[in-house]
Amino acid sequence: MALKITVIGTGYLGATHAAAMAELGFEVLGLDVVPEKIEMLKRGEVPMYEPGLEELLRKHVAGIEGSSGRLRFTMDWAEVGEFGDVHFVCVNTPQKHGEYACDMSYVDAAFESLAPHLHGPALVVGKSTVPVGSADRLAARLAALAPAGEDAELAWNPEFLREGFAVNDTLHPDRIVVGVRSERAEKLLREVYATPVTAGSPFVLTDFPTAELVKTSANSFLATKISFINAMAEVCEAADGDVVKLAEAIGHDERIGKKFLRAGIGFGGGCLPKDIRAFMARAGELGADQALTFLREIDSINMRQRGQMVELAREALGGGSFLGKRVAVLGAAFKPDSDDVRDSPALNVAGQIHLQGGQVTVYDPKGMDNARRLFPTLAYADSAIEAVRGADVVLHLTEWREFRELDPAVLGEAVTTRLILDGRNALDPEVWRRAGWTYRAMGRPKA
Ligand code: UDX
């Protein structure tokens, strides 16, 4: 009989994982502790913008016409405990307030709530990004709290999905990493992932600490790549070089690769910044802090980019104060194809200029509601053209396709001054310059 799967926590990761598991043919029950989220999901609606996710949900959520009916949602822990053979824990692990370490309270609460309802054999699979050593501790907690005792087993299976590509990354993962302690756990997870493994996804079997570390080290490597190229942008800026050409040239070396070498205002979002900080904090606890001191530099290079963008704008406006200057900001989400504004470099830059007296108007294709909630004092416009109307300078801060397709001639009619600063090195300088704009970006020649 097909395995029954539960998914605990239906945020980005959980909602996508639940829909993907239903797509793979399993009966799935999703649980969240936020009633509004569950109500939305039951109607086949997604609480965030993620391309393709709503379609996938609607294809499987029970009660929706024409759906497979394989996916249901609940708030009842007993029902979840009763239902599942495999329970995926997908709750978030944010940064602790005022500390680098990650806040494990949602993960701990999920285990405390689930375990007492595990009366028979069950595999609990952690997917959340956690400090190394957590799985060991949670395995013991599980065995102590579950009526099934040792039959309630733990595995660790980190998730590498990117926002904006979550559905594809979940259905066709570039690797599946599972930390297990028994053949039974391995067998169950091979069954869960049989379809992507047959399609070619590598299945990497590890112990608990390695599985946990794969995730944080992968994100640290990605963060390092971005800060590396941003450091090169600073040097190019000083030496009058072109960081985009430089990235292209070094990217031809297969050992380096082209991806994640886009210089600009740096990384943000709900993962990279907090993951590298939590990693440093954990290494400190383990007495291995020296190994990760370089991440401190990666973090500060990244944060410096935001300030440099503000200074580039100030300089472009004549070097004085922002008072009375109209600044149009294109982009609020931390990256394109997402409505997520958590630790968004774009909003950070917009906020800094606003706090220094600039009249900032923001437009983002999908991130407007979240941006308004986080930064209610900024002005918002309903379109790019409305945002730039009367602007003394336009800042391109999230590289949405919509912005790349803007017609510089049309925008030029709306602004006061044809001055664009590309914080993502994603626009074609020639196209903008031909239309009479001054184009500037960090680490690129001035004309
Ligand atoms: C990341 C990891 O990629 C993913 O594997 C993990 O599971 C979660 O964290 P995500 O946060 O969705 O995913 O975003 P990602 O695509 O990695 O981008 C992170 C940030 O880096 C964005 O703000 C993006 O704009 C920035 N970035 C990315 C750059 O500044 N330059 C680049 O070249 C690439």
Mutate-to-test residue for ligand 1 from 217, 248, 272, highest number of ligand atoms within 8 A of CB: 272
Q: Residue 90 catalytic?
A: no
CA nearest ligand 1 atom 25, residue: 335
Query: Is the distance from CB of 106 to CB of 92 less than 8 angstroms?
Result: yes
HEC string of 11-77 equals: CHHHHHHHHHHHHCCCEEEEECCCHHHHHHHHCCCCCCCCCCHHHHHHHHECCCCCCCCCEEEECCH
How far is ligand 1, taken at its centre, from the CA of residue 334, in Å?
9
How far is ligand 1, taken at its centre, from the CA of residue 222, in Å?
8
What CA–CA distance (Å, rounded) separates 331 from 258? 24
336 lines ligand 1 (CB under 6 A): no
CA nearest ligand 1 atom 32, residue: 260
Distance from the first to the final alpha carbon of the chain: 66
Other C-beta atoms within 10 Å of 413: how many? 11
Q: Give kind and range of the element (H or E) at residue 393.
A: strand 393-396
Tens digit of each residue's pLDDT (9 = 90 or more) over 292-301: 999 999 999 9
Query: Is the distance from CB of 80 to CB of 8 less than 8 angstroms?
Result: yes
Report which of 275, 262, 286 is spatially closest to residue 221, judged by C-alpha positions.
Answer: 275
CA nearest ligand 1 atom 10, residue: 162
| pLDDT score, position 167 | 96
Query: Is the distance from CB of 237 to CB of 442 less than 8 angstroms?
Result: yes
Mutate-to-test residue for ligand 1 from 256, 271, 303, highest number of ligand atoms within 8 A of CB: 271
CA nearest ligand 1 atom 16, residue: 162
User: Spelled out in words, what is the top-level CATH class assigned to the domain 225-440?
Assistant: alpha beta
Query: Is the distance from CB of 88 to CB of 127 less than 8 angstroms?
Result: yes
C-alpha radius of gyration, the chain, whole number: 24
222 lines ligand 1 (CB under 6 A): yes
Task: Give one DSSP letter per residue of 281-312, joined into a string.
Answer: HHHHHTT-GGGGHHHHHHHHHHHHHHHHHHHH
| pLDDT score, position 2 | 85
CA nearest ligand 1 atom 6, residue: 160
Query: Is the distance from CB of 306 to CB of 332 less than 8 angstroms?
Result: no
In whole numbers, what is the pLDDT of the chain averaged over residues?
A: 97
Query: Is the distance from CB of 178 to CB of 214 less than 8 angstroms?
Result: no
> What is the tally of helices (H) and strands (E) in the chain?
19, 14
Token representation of residue 365: 């294709």
| pLDDT score, position 421 | 98
Q: Where do the CATH 3.40.50.720 domains begin and end in the chain?
A: 4-206, 225-440
Burial 32-70 (b: 16+ CB within 10 A, else e): bbeeebbebbbebebbebbeebbebbbbbbbebeebeeb
260 lines ligand 1 (CB under 6 A): yes
| Each residue's pLDDT expressed in tens, for the chain with a length of 447 residues | 789 999 999 999 999 999 999 999 999 999 999 999 999 999 999 989 999 999 999 999 999 999 999 999 999 999 999 999 999 999 999 999 999 999 999 999 999 999 999 999 999 999 999 999 999 999 999 999 999 999 999 999 999 999 999 999 999 999 999 999 999 999 999 999 999 999 999 999 999 999 999 999 999 999 999 999 999 999 999 999 999 999 999 999 999 999 999 999 999 999 999 999 999 999 999 999 999 999 999 999 999 999 999 999 999 999 889 999 999 999 999 999 999 999 999 999 999 999 999 999 999 999 999 999 999 999 999 999 999 999 999 999 999 999 999 999 999 999 999 999 999 999 999 999 999 999 999 999 987
Ligand 1, atom nearest to 268 Cα: 23
Angle in degrees, 0-180, between the axes of helices 12-23 and 53-60, rounded to the nearest 10:
50
163 lines ligand 1 (CB under 6 A): yes
Mutate-to-test residue for ligand 1 from 16, 102, 335, highest number of ligand atoms within 8 A of CB: 335
Other C-beta atoms within 10 Å of 253: how many? 9
| 4-206 topology per CATH | Rossmann fold (3.40.50)
